[in-house]
Structure 1
Amino acid sequence: MIRGMGYYRAGTVDPVSGVAGLVGEVPGDVTIAGRLRELHQRAVTDDGAFVWLGLFQPTRAELQIVQDVFGLAPLQVEDASNPRQRAKFEVTKDFAFVVLKVLSYVEATSDVETAQISVFVGPSYAVTVRHGSHGDLKGVRARLECDPDLLRHGPVSVLYSVLDTVVDGYLSVSDEISRDIENVEEAVFSPTRTDDDPQLIYRLKRENLEMRRAVAPLVATATELVRETHAQVPDDLRPFFRDVGDHVLRVSDTVEQNDSLLMTLLMASTSLQDLKQNADMRKIASYAAMLAVPTMIAGIYGMNFDDMPELTWSFGYPLALGLMGGLVLLVYRLFKRSGWL
């Protein structure tokens, strides 16, 4: 489905007749495909003009129509149709194809949800393909249309705007995960820690893994953008793309640090759990030893031998009880002094 459509010329929105009517339509329709082809041809012949077509979860047949209209590479279209495609950044002299993972943090469950945006950029067009429930580009389109200086750079301005928005989302999600890790760290070393700590740590490692899958494929390109060695980036836009690259590298460093910290926390949590179990076993063994003392004495006098003088002695019974109590107290103090109790 067409989620957004715009015709831009000389840094402004060109109110071309019929563009607004395409929003919400299906590009597989023959009439709609013809109108898209007309707009593209007009942009090709109109100096400085370009078309930005935004698609939301299109079918393979709908993408085929768009591929024919704009002359998109078949393999890249196939990648854009796959919602599980790995993030990538392919740029040539006149064309670019970028697949980005859009991350969203769910406050209620502390989960990280993933969507996907693919961006095709050519001399007279920009096509965005979105999969997933979040990552809507209406706000991106609105901000870009309010910035004539940026919009004047043509289709590459769409690529920058989408990159900037998605990477800013990475920063936000990264900060939320870092805060969750701090909370888990406090819980692990808290006196009132629970047995749920390892599960929480493992869950955070899974969320951090989602971050790594989104960011890791972009690190090499981000390094080139920061060093301003990417030949296909226009000179005027190099500072903008350098800022995006810097943010990607920053998130990548945070992901690595979080992963190391989570592994350390998992090891610490396991060690503390083992220590707690050892302490419990010491207490159990101590109380068992304390019970063994009176049991032994009672067992001796329960053998009912005939020649046991204490059985006929008037102080035998209180002496046996006192002996039991005294020995139990002695054993208790020994275990207490050794730290077992």
Structure 2
Amino acid sequence: MRLPGRFTHSAALAEVRSRGEGFAWVGLHAPDEDQMNSVAKVFGLHELMVEDAVHAHQRPKLEIYDDVLFLVLRTVNYVEHESITTANEIVETGEIMIFVGADFVVTVRHGEHSGLAGVRADMDAHPQRLALGPTAVLHAVADHVVDSYLAVTESVERDVDLMEEDVFSPRSQVAIEQIYLFKREIVELRKSVNPLASPLQRLGQDAGIGVPKEVRRYLRDVHDHHTIVAERIAEFDEVLSTLVEAALAKVAVQENTDMRKISAWVAIAAVPTMVAGIYGMNFEQMPELQWSFGYPAVLCVIATICIGLFVTFRRNNWL
């Protein structure tokens, strides 16, 4: 259970080591270089770890420095929006880095949605899990992050279903640019999620990295959930690729329809243009020039031909 009172990171580690049991858990949010160096000095963290923790923007990975595990996880958050046609962002990303030693855990967060207060409260409510040691915290954080992946993919799935429905509706006007936006967001989601598969697999199966057998069992369950998420993201990618092709096909069909309409009207307009062009020639000897009914007769012929063309084009769905 958590000890009462407030401790600095050095005091917390000293207390744990004086007792000879338990571990210290230090949480940092977007630390600067001085803060991170101070923590690293107390817990003996490698300088490369410090550099990664300060500058962030790391791919999910697992590294071992001496007896310290270093796990990087990318967090994702679904951005609420009124409509799929007006959304500018679907997911936002953050980062959590976990340093696990024999008697300490240091978590470094980047991003506003990567809070771990709920994880701490859940761990406090289950002292038997805390008794498994610092790697139990690593599992709890990884489980929390992967569960958030599941929640995000469920929300994204609803958006993709709505977009699919709109694209295949007869009179839909879904812009291809919006499908490309979703495609880009899915790419970002995939880059945040998929690289975590290898670290989770290693944590769940490799007995030589210091993770207790009981915790490895829990981590294998997290890996299974992660696999489900990765499969969903792959499905989203395939569906969006299909939607891009369908949208392009609809554009091509619409362009073909427009061209047929334009061609039909041009053909109709060509009749009076041709007749007027012929009778616009300045020859003295032309048929019907001296006939009193010549002008209305020509207009009737033009109107008859134009109406005939209009009916023909309308019957063939060109107009």
Using the size of structure 1 for normalisation, the TM-score is 0.85
Quote the offset at 1:234 in angstroms. 2.0
Match of 2:47 among 74, 83, 88: 74
Structure 2: distance between partners of 1:173 and 1:331: 57
User: Could you say which residue in structure 2 is the equivalent of 1:102?
Assistant: 75
1:142 maps to amino acid = A
Structure 1: distance between partners of 2:56 and 2:240: 29
User: 1:60–1:158: structure 2 CA closer, same or farther, 3 Å change rule?
Assistant: same
Quote the offset at 1:202 in angstroms. 1.1
User: 1:58–1:221: structure 2 CA closer, same or farther, 3 Å change rule?
Assistant: closer
Structure 2: distance between partners of 1:324 and 1:38: 100
> CA contact under 8 A between 1:54 and 1:129: conserved in structure 2?
yes
1:233-252 aligned within 5 A:
233-252=211-230
Match of 1:174 among 132, 153, 158: 153
**Count of matched residue positions in the alignment of Structure 1 and Structure 2:** 311
Q: Whose relative contact order is higher, 1 or 2, with alpha carbons under 8 Å and at least 6 apart?
A: 2
Match of 2:193 among 199, 204, 215: 215
User: Could you say which residue in structure 1 is the equivalent of 2:84?
Assistant: none
Structure 1: distance between partners of 2:197 and 2:143: 15
Structure 1: distance between partners of 2:179 and 2:258: 24
User: Could you say which residue in structure 2 is the equivalent of 1:63?
Assistant: 36
Report the secondary structure of 2:25's partner residue.
strand
1:229 maps to amino acid = Q
Match of 1:161 among 140, 145, 163: 140
Quote the offset at 1:45 in angstroms. 4.3
Mean Cα displacement is larger for which, 286-295 or 261-270? 261-270
> CA contact under 8 A between 1:221 and 1:245: conserved in structure 2?
no
2:286 is aligned with 1:308: yes
Structure 2: distance between partners of 1:89 and 1:307: 97
Structure 2: distance between partners of 1:281 and 1:182: 32
> CA contact under 8 A between 2:205 and 2:216: conserved in structure 1?
no
Structure 1: distance between partners of 2:109 and 2:202: 26
Mean Cα displacement is larger for which, 139-148 or 178-187? 178-187
1:278-337 CA-partner distances (Å, limit 9, x unpaired):
211111111011011122122222324333342333432332122111211222233334
Structure 2: distance between partners of 1:143 and 1:173: 21
Using the size of structure 2 for normalisation, the TM-score is 0.90
User: Could you say which residue in structure 2 is the equivalent of 1:325?
Assistant: 303
Structure 2: distance between partners of 1:121 and 1:302: 94
Quote the offset at 1:64 in angstroms. 0.9
Report the secondary structure of 1:311's partner residue.
coil
1:73-119 CA-partner distances (Å, limit 9, x unpaired):
22122111122122112358953111111111110345311111110
User: Could you say which residue in structure 2 is the equivalent of 1:133?
Assistant: 112
RMSD: 2.1
Which residues of structure 2 form unaligned runs of 5+?
82-86
User: Could you say which residue in structure 1 is the equivalent of 2:205?
Assistant: 229
Quote the offset at 1:246 in angstroms. 1.0
After superposing on structure 2, the runs of 4+ consecutive aligned residues of structure 1 that deviate more than 4 Å are 91-94
Structure 2: distance between partners of 1:309 and 1:113: 78
Structure 2: distance between partners of 1:102 and 1:309: 85
